[in-house]
Structure 1
Amino acid sequence: MPPFHFRFDSLLTLHRRRRDEVSRELGKIRAAIDQFNDQIDRLQQQRDTLRQETAHHLAGSVDSAPPVRLDRLQHEARYDGQLAQEQDSLRSNRKQLDVELEQQRRCLVEAEAEVKRFERLREKQAATHQQREQKREQAAMDELAQARMIYSRR
């Protein structure tokens, strides 16, 4: 029985590579989104710490006599504003990555569908090939059995 040869094997390989490439790109985008989320969380922790320190400073100045230093409060407010701007910028970048992520997901679905289409075609052609070969072998065996029967009658 001659081996089965799928004539679209190169296309199947090409579509598998494309799917794998899209999948890797999707992973890179997810990792970048995770990094942005980590940075946003760290900035939020810094802002929370700053607010706690400011509140502690203000509460301490009420209980004790040292005056509230206006320049310190202004500096803390400016710093908090900078942190908030950084967070906004990171959120904006993350939103752009979210859009890219969705595009890559769609590309991955399409690439996976193409791979499955070619794999189904390969399976069908392999099954057809096997059926043909089995019929050929059966015909050859029937012919051989018939020839033996004719030969044995002589």
Structure 2
Amino acid sequence: MTSFHFRFESLLVLQRQQRNELIRELTETHTAINDTQEKIDHLQQQRDELRSAAAGRFATDVHISVDRLRHEARYDRQLADDQDTLGSTRKQLEAELEQRRERLIEAEAEVKRLERLREKQSVAYNQLQLQREQATADERTIARMIHSRR
């Protein structure tokens, strides 16, 4: 009895590799989004600390330096601009994540379709082999019966 050979096995292997690559890319995108969010949070923390320090000085200092206020305002604006830039990057990454997620769903569906086809063909092959073996056994039995009657 010969063993079953799925003729689309190489295609199935390629589809699995593509699916695994998409999973890796999806993971990388998740990591990039998380890293970007951490940077945004860190910038927000810096802005909060800057404002808190300025508020503390306003409460205790009698003399307020205009140059220092301008410097802190520029620094706060720079932090805000950096946050905006990172926010845009995060939105782009989220859009990319969604596209990759959709491609992964399609790739997974293709792998499952090929696996179902392989399973169906394997079952059909095994049934055909069983029928052939049964026919061969029946022929032998008939031949023995004919031979024993002579």
Per the normalisation by structure 2, the TM-score is: 0.95
- Cα distance, 1:9 vs structure 2: 0.8
What residue number does 2:127 align with? 131
| Gap runs ≥5 in structure 1 | none
Match of 2:148 among 124, 149, 152: 152
SS at match of 2:75: helix
Aligned letter for 2:41?
A: D
**What amino acid sits opposite 1:147 in the alignment?**
A
Deviations 1:61-110 (A, max 9, x none): 2xxxx411221122111111110000000000111111111111111111
Q: Using the TM superposition, give the Cα deviation of residue 146 of structure 1 relative to its aligned residue in structure 2, in angstroms.
A: 2.0
**Alignment RMSD, CA only?**
1.1
* 2:77 maps to 1:92: no
Equivalent residue, structure 1, for 2:40: 40
User: Mapping of 1:11-26 within 5 angstroms?
Assistant: 11-26=11-26
Matched residues, percent identical?
57
Q: Does 1:80 align with 2:98?
A: no
How many Å apart are 1:26 and its aligned residue? 1.0
One-letter amino acid of the counterpart of residue 149, structure 1: M
String of CA shifts for 1:3-39, please: whole Å, max 9, x gaps: 0011111111111111111111111111111110010
Unaligned runs of 5+ in 2: none
